[in-house]
Amino acid sequence: MASRDRATFDGARCAGDLAEAVVFVDACAHAGKVRLRSWRRYVDDHPGWTGIAQARTAAGLAEAATRSGWESRLRVFYVVDAGLPRPRVNIPVFDAGGRLLGIADLLDEDAGLVAEFDGQHHRRRSQHREDNVREEAFESAGLTVVRVDSLDLQGFRQELARRLRDGHRRGGMRDRSRDRWTTQEPEWWIEHAGPADALTEEELAEIFG
């Protein structure tokens, strides 16, 4: 495990920027190559190394539940650039009766804000339909949804920051007594939902391609 910790450490501290450092660490953690708690201790044990500040910041932002590099980049933007509270990652959201509404890429429970990243596969008509149905279910239950794709993160960053902050503001002003959603997992989910799988080849290609 020490060699994996070192390789992840080197990847984080030598990445081109903070977002790419988090992409790398998230992928390693999601694939089970490192355990974030012990890896963070490894980072802390190496003060003075080149790039240590970036590695430490990446360690604080890393999330093993992240399933794509663009999700990582969106989360870094959400927290660092938009200045919003750290969201939960890939959280199942249910209605009051325990029916699954969808898995939220990023969820701020206090603001009732869902930020969804639309990767390349979301362009397929069947996937686009599923996305629309899920978004309608979220909004009908009282959540605010902001959809993001790579163009937003690459060329429209100021506008994206404004959209996310506006969504956060609107969500924070909602009538919470009308919320019809919860993150409390019903028994059927606890019994049948397994642990997150390791990254597939398709997911790795999305991260590093």
pLDDT digits (tens, 9 = 90+) for 16-42: 999 999 999 999 999 999 999 999 999
Whole-number average pLDDT of the chain: 89
| Residue 61: both structure tokens together | 């932002």
Residue 176 banded pLDDT, cuts 50, 70, 90: very high
**Confidence band of 208 (pLDDT split at 50, 70, 90):** very low
Residue-wise pLDDT tens digits, 82-106: 999 999 999 999 999 999 999 999 9
Alpha helices per DSSP H over the chain: 2-14, 18-30, 36-44, 52-61, 69-76, 125-140, 150-155, 157-172, 187-192, 201-208
